[in-house]
Amino acid sequence: MKFIKTYAVIAGLVCLAFTAQAQSAKSYTEGSVWNVTMIKVKPGMGEDYMKSLNTGLRKVYDEAMKQGLVLSYKVLSGSASSPQDWNMLIMAEYKNMAALDGLNDKMDVIEMKAIGNEDVQKKIMMSRMEMREIMGAKLMRELKFQ
């Protein structure tokens, strides 16, 4: 009788283990983290805005990539689906959420070196306000199918 009870307990534990494993098995793995900024470039300002990004944002992200702070970045342009919609995305890819710890301080140093002091940076940001409107930003994690 003890043998049957012991067997029943072991069998029950094995079933629980398989059930727990099946429930926790995901069909994806967590990948890199993306900071996505949605921008509405004003009509006729696309080329000017890209020139501004080329002389500022590009230098900053290229240096951040050299330092291993950013994995990659992209600028995507497309048609807005309505007059209130964004038509450009700026995306920066980071290894994981932990890569964001202390990132602002590190990026401040890069921006100072690549663009200039706070007055120069402020001037650039003010000129960009005439070219675009930031519609929003999101931090998103890439999910990869297994």
Do residues 118 and 108 make contact, with C-beta atoms less than 8 angstroms apart? no
pLDDT at 13: 52
Q: Tokens for 11, please give them.
A: 């069998």
Closest CA to 92 of 63, 123, 133: 63
CA–CA dist 109, 21 (Å, integer): 46
Instruction: Write the DSSP symbol of residue 42.
Output: P
Long-range contacts of 96-104 (CB under 8 A, 24+ apart): 96/30, 96/32, 96/33, 97/33, 97/141, 99/33, 99/69, 100/33, 100/139, 103/69
pLDDT in tens, the chain (146 residues): 555 655 555 655 555 555 555 556 899 999 999 999 999 999 999 999 999 999 999 999 999 999 999 999 999 999 999 999 999 999 999 999 999 999 999 999 999 999 999 999 999 999 999 999 999 999 999 999 99
Domains and CATH numbers, the chain: 28-145 (3.30.70.100)
pLDDT at 25: 86
Instruction: Write the DSSP symbol of residue 44.
Output: T
